[in-house]
Amino acid sequence: MITQVYLMDLEITGIPYELCPRLAYYLVRLVYDIVRCGVEVAIALLKGRPEICRVVVELPTEDHLLNAIVCNTITLTPGTISLEMQGRHAEILRLNTTGATLEKIRADIEAGYAVLKPSAAEK
């Protein structure tokens, strides 16, 4: 009974309950990325001055609220700042702590929230 009421509350607030397991995974991944990037940024700063890269990433959905949440969580990760969000694209500044290419950096950022992309059945 309580579970049913909770699921109904999620639907009322606009969060489809099918998305809840993916949101839980996203939060675990976010905590992992915050810790991993914190260590990488600390090491890079101790070694010298890391390069700053500007990348444009594709956001997971057309939902403006979900995309805003993704941009805000990207900013929580050490060494990254969300500069601008327009439609399904966001401009991100990131410290290049590993010497990776721009494509690798873009793929790394997009992999962090790929789980939030709607499946074919949800479209």
Predicted confidence at residue 14, as pLDDT, reads: 61
Looking at residue 56, its amino acid is: V
CB 53 within 8 A of CB 105: yes
Tens of pLDDT, residue by residue over 59-107, are 888 888 888 888 999 899 999 999 999 989 999 999 998 888 999 999 9
Say how far apart CA 7 and CA 109 lie, in whole Å: 30
Q: What is the pLDDT of residues 14-51, one digit of tens each?
A: 666 666 788 888 889 899 999 999 999 999 999 988 89
* Beta strand residue intervals within 15-79, DSSP E: 51-58
Tokens standing for residue 51: 């390069």
Task: Kindly report the pTM of this predicted structure.
Answer: 0.72
Domain ranges of the chain: 2-116
Contact 99, 108 (CB under 8 A): no
